């Protein structure tokens, strides 16, 4: 799914009453999301670590998922967001 095809937010409803919708524009610091770059057209999902009560649980699940391929990332996420145990 192309992120440009995500629906826009319906201003008449609170975010909690909507599903997936366009909210952020994400760019990569290394520029690889530009035309012809490795990450051109990639989709991203942004978590609000300060206000979203589900963000820490999502990052703990991500740590579990990436532990075998990215052990340092998993360790850093667990150190910051706990192990969930």
> For residue 6, which of 33, 19, 58 has the smallest C-alpha distance?
19
- HSE-up of residue 79 (Cα within 13 Å, Cβ side): 6
Residues 7 and 20 in one domain: yes
From first to last of its 85 residues, the chain has per-residue pLDDT tens of 454 678 899 999 998 999 999 989 999 999 999 999 999 999 899 999 999 999 999 999 999 999 999 999 999 999 999 886 6
Distance separating alpha carbons of residues 55 and 44, to the nearest angstrom: 15
Q: Model-level pTM?
A: 0.79
The answer on 27 and 62 residing in a single domain is no
Residues 6+ apart with CB under 8 A from 53: none
35 shares a domain with 21:
yes
How far is the C-alpha of 84 from the C-alpha of 14, rounded, in Å?
Answer: 29
- What is the domain count for the chain? 2
Tokens coding 54? 């589900």
Looking at the fold, whether 21 and 36 belong to one and the same domain comes out as yes
Q: Which range of residues forms the domain containing residue 41?
A: 1-46
């Amino acid at each position: 799914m192309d992120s440009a095809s995500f629906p826009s937010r319906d201003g008449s409803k609170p975010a909690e009453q909507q599903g997936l919708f366009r909210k952020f524009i994400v760019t990569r610091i290394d520029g690889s999301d530009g035309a012809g770059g490795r990450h051109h057209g990639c989709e991203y999902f942004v978590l609000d670590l300060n206000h979203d009560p589900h963000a820490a649980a999502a990052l703990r699940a991500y740590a579990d998922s990436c532990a075998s391929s990215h052990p340092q990332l998993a360790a850093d996420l667990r150190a910051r967001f706990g192990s969930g145990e």
